[in-house]
């Protein structure tokens, strides 16, 4: 009996692994955003976050949140906090939004009403090494898991010139 069971188990494990790989290949994938800084006034800037679904299926639900924070060791926990907010959202609210594969979608205001439009440069200068910590939480049509991408971005200020130098996706805790 042992000789029969061994090859059957190996075949079953291989089939399970192949099925899981196929689902991962087909699910939506959203990475860290590209962040564009523009200015309509000399004393303020607008941050536009551009996200892209690089997966093969639409998202099922979408929640994005981000905020300005100091660039220090706590920036990663701030990013994780943004993910926890998204995971706690009411499923009915959460499932109203989606993104199509290959499409870009922009964010200038977050669902928590954090504004990224016309931010006074003087406010950014008050933050020691300013950064952005955020997270996008989204679902897949293939499972009930809420997938997430945490991100952090370092903001540079030189006089009244503002730029985003680095944007990183962060490994979830």
Query: Hey, what domains does the chain have and what are their CATH numbers?
Result: 27-170 (2.60.40)
Beta bridge partners of 151: 134, 169
Per-residue model confidence as pLDDT tens digits over 102-150: 888 887 766 566 788 899 999 999 999 999 999 988 888 877 788 889 9
Top pLDDT among 66 and 172 is at 66
Average pLDDT, the chain: 83
Contact 129, 32 (CB under 8 A): no
Bin 85: left if φ > 0, else alpha if -120 < ψ < 50, else beta. alpha
Whether this model's pTM surpasses 0.75? yes
Q: CB 164: neighbour CB atoms within 10 A? A: 18
For residue 47, what pLDDT is reported?
Answer: 94
Token pair, residue 3, equals: 């000789």
Residue 55 CA to residue 73 CA, distance in Å, equals 31
Instruction: State yes or no: pLDDT of 2 exceeds 70.
Output: no
Percent of the chain past pLDDT 90, that is, above it, reads 38
Q: How confident is the model at residue 161 (pLDDT cuts 50, 70, 90)?
A: very high
Which of 2-11, 71-80, 94-103, 106-115 shows the highest mean pLDDT? 71-80
3-state secondary structure of 45: strand
For residue 114, what pLDDT is reported?
Answer: 76
């Amino acid at each position: 009996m042992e000789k029969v069971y061994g090859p059957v188990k190996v075949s079953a494990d291989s089939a399970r692994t192949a099925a899981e790989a196929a689902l991962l290949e087909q699910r939506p994938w959203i990475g860290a955003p590209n962040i564009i800084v523009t200015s309509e006034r000399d004393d303020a800037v607008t941050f536009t976050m551009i996200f892209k679904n690089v997966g093969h299926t639409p998202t099922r639900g979408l929640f994005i949140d981000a905020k300005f924070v100091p660039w220090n060791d706590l920036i990663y926990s701030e990013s994780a906090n943004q993910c926890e907010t998204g995971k706690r959202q009411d499923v009915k609210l959460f499932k109203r939004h989606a993104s199509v594969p290959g499409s870009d979608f922009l964010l200038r205001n977050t669902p928590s009403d954090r504004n990224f439009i016309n931010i006074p440069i003087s406010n950014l200068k008050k933050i020691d090494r300013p950064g952005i910590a955020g997270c996008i939480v989204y679902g897949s049509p293939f499972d009930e898991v809420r997938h997430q991408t945490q991100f952090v971005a370092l903001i540079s200020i030189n006089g009244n010139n503002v730029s985003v130098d680095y944007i990183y996706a962060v490994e979830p805790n």
